[in-house]
Amino acid sequence: MTDKRKILVVDDQESMRVLLQDMLEAIGYEVTLAEGGEQALGILRESNFDLVLSDLNMPGMDGTALLRSVKSSAPDLPVVIITGYGTFHTEKRVMREGADGYISKPCTLSKIDKTLAAVFGHKVGLS
């Protein structure tokens, strides 16, 4: 059996972090939580992850700044952006910045699973 993939979830809202953690753990991922971009960068310096799932709109370092920082130090680490304020223009912008995926809120377990499956290049776990 292989180890679970490790995901760092970054969101300034505690309720959203916990919801994402519950959803991701339900489909077999190991999850670590960060309250914002600066905390996420500290965690990334200490541990290895298979993917970063970050909110776009956060105080301080937002998701775009975190994305740029991650891609500059670890270009192969996938970053998926999640936002409740998304538009087609926003999606195009973050994908141009190097995001590996984009999820609009409200997010369902199925939407998350499909997006992560596409990023990891494997079959979707939910039927």
Count: domains in the chain? 1
The whole model's pTM is what?
A: 0.91
Could you report the per-residue pLDDT of 42-70, keeping only the tens digit for each? 999 999 999 999 999 999 999 999 999 99
Q: What share of the chain is helix, strand, coil (3-state, %, to 5)?
A: 45, 20, 40
What CATH number has the domain bearing residue 85? 3.40.50.2300
> Containing domain of residue 105, as a range?
6-117
Q: Is residue 40 part of a domain?
A: yes
CA–CA distance, 41 with 120 (Å, rounded to integer): 22
**Residue 1 domain-assigned (yes or no):** no
- At 7-32, the pLDDT tens digits run 999 999 999 999 999 999 999 999 99
3-state secondary structure 69-85: HHHHHCCCCCEEEEECC
